[in-house]
């Protein structure tokens, strides 16, 4: 018997109907909205009992998703072992996303992007926290009672904050974190050793554990978009931002990176803080220096494609990058990675992948190493 289920960590799909077709079967599906929110686009489900059978999966409400432009040229991710995620033929027309697959295994998992489970998150935190020179702290609890984890390493005077997955469906952000943390904790890596000597890193690998576990695209357990809460976080509806920003106020910040994924743009890029009231030319110069250094280091990052730049005084201070740059006078940025692929360097089998996300994490640290000494003394 062929079945589709999603009752697991980060699972999301509703089965509307199964319809036998010549040579196979077809399912009509729907993505479930984030709790108390109209956002939806993340899907993650298991297909069992279909080995060798041609299966058509029709996500019928794709046209109403948060970012329907994200379906153009998109290909879904599939894995039989939940380790190697590959892309499968996918098309979008008339508001329906259609995935075609003939599984080679009795069970396969399909997802919008390679998932990063909460169990893997706990394994990552435990592994890095056990490394000499790393301290771990629970900053507070989420609305669902999960822990908000902070890892601190390094002994240098520069204050660096890295945080990811404010939007839980952007799982590539925590893959990036895994790559960055593995590098920073490697006592044999000379760049990591130099960074730890010159800076202290405060790292939140997952800002939204509740949304991650619930299978949300963009919000926490209360249906709140955390990246619109930084001007005035409320412990009753956005405790994640409330706890992190309180600690940031205690430490101060010289450099901050907020790690995300973008549904529509097939490139990796960064967005800055142009338009903040307290903008300085020095901040802008260092932001562009980091951006251009990263582009020089890796062809998986570019500067031509990205978001429009806010006009003078028009920055949205409810977003973390703008709030932190304005509040601390630091260099802050939002890193975006694609759900699709890097159109300049495509990989037909994997598209943008966990491995590329991890490698970009390492390259971002390499770029920071090059420009770190130019950050002003405070």
- Give 269: exposed, middle or buried? Use CB within 10 Å, 0-12, 13-18, 19+: buried
Residue 377: the pLDDT is: 76
> Which of helix, strand or coil describes residue 194?
helix
Tokens of 257: 């990176």
According to DSSP, residue 188 is labeled T
Q: CA 109, CA 200: separation in Å to the nearest integer?
A: 39
Q: Which residue in 68, 63, 65, 56 sits closest to 28, CA to CA? A: 56
| Distance (Å) of CA 6 to CA 103, 137, 220 | 17, 32, 19
Q: Where are the beta strands (DSSP E) in 214-338?
A: 255-262, 269-271, 331-338
Q: Kindly give the pairing relationship between strand 269-271 and strand 331-338.
A: antiparallel
Residue 230: the pLDDT is: 98
> Which of helix, strand or coil describes residue 262?
strand
Superfamily of domain 118-374 in the CATH hierarchy: Zn peptidases (3.40.630.10)
Residue 23: the pLDDT is: 86
For the chain, how many residues are written? 378
> Which of helix, strand or coil describes residue 356?
helix
pLDDT digits (tens, 9 = 90+) for 4-27: 999 999 999 999 999 988 889 999
Residue 139: the pLDDT is: 98
Given 336, 355, 363, 377, which residue is catalytic?
A: 336
Where in the chain do CATH 3.40.630.10 domains reside? 118-374
Where in the chain do CATH 2.60.40.3120 domains reside? 3-111
Task: Enumerate the β-bridge partners of residue 202.
Answer: 152, 161
Q: Of 2.40.30.10, 1.10.3720.10, 2.60.40.3120, 3.40.50.880, which CATH number belongs to 3-111?
A: 2.60.40.3120
Q: CA 183, CA 164: separation in Å to the nearest integer?
A: 16
Residue 364: the pLDDT is: 98
- Residue 336 a catalytic site member: yes
Sign of the CA dihedral running 170, 223, 220, 310 = positive
pLDDT digits (tens, 9 = 90+) for 29-43: 999 999 999 999 999
Q: Which residue in 306, 318, 307, 203 sits closest to 259, CA to CA? A: 203
**pTM exceeding the 0.85 threshold for the entire prediction:** yes
Residue 80: the pLDDT is: 98
The whole-number mean pLDDT for each consecutive block of 10 residues of the chain, a chain of 378 residues, reads 97 96 94 98 98 98 98 98 98 98 98 98 98 98 98 98 98 99 98 98 98 98 98 97 98 98 98 97 97 98 97 95 98 98 98 98 98 90
- 44-48, strands of its sheet edge to edge: 3-5, 44-48, 107-111, 76-79, 86-88
């Amino acid at each position: 018997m062929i079945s589709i289920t999603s009752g697991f960590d980060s699972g999301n799909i509703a089965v509307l109907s199964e319809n036998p077709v010549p040579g196979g079967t077809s399912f009509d599906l729907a993505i479930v909205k984030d709790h108390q929110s109209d956002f939806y686009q993340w899907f993650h489900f298991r297909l069992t009992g279909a080995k060798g059978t041609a299966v058509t999966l029709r996500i019928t409400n794709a046209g109403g998703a948060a970012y329907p432009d994200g379906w153009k040229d998109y290909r879904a991710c599939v894995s039989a072992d939940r380790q190697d995620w590959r892309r499968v033929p996918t098309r979008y027309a008339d508001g329906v996303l259609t995935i075609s697959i003939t599984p080679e295994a009795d069970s396969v998992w399909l997802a919008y992007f390679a998932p990063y489970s909460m169990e893997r998150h706990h394994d990552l935190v435990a592994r890095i926290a056990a490394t000499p020179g790393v301290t771990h702290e629970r900053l507070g609890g989420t609305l669902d009672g999960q822990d908000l984890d902070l890892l601190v390493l390094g002994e240098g005077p520069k204050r660096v904050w890295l945080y990811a997955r404010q939007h839980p469906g952007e799982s590539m952000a925590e893959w990036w974190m895994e790559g960055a943390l593995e590098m920073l904790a490697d006592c044999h890596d000379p760049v990591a050793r130099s960074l730890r000597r010159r800076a202290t890193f405060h790292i939140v690998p997952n800002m939204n554990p509740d949304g991650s576990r619930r299978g949300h695209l963009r919000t926490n357990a209360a249906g709140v978009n955390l990246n619109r809460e930084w001007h005035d976080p409320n412990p009753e509806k956005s405790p994640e931002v409330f706890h992190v920003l309180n600690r940031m106020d205690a430490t101060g910040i010289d450099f901050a990176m907020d790690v995300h994924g973008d549904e529509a743009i097939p490139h990796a890029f960064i967005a800055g803080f142009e338009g903040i009231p307290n903008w300085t030319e020095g901040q802008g110069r260092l932001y562009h220096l980091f951006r251009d250094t990263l582009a020089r280091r890796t062809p998986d990052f570019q500067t031509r494609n990205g978001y429009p730049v806010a006009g003078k005084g028009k920055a949205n201070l409810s977003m973390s990058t703008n709030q932190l740059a304005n509040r601390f006078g630091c260099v802050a940025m939002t890193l975006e990675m694609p759900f699709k692929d890097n159109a300049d360097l495509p990989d037909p089998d994997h598209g943008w992948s966990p491995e590329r996300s991890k490698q970009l994490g390492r390259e971002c640290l390499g770029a920071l190493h090059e420009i770190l000494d130019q950050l002003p003394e405070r």
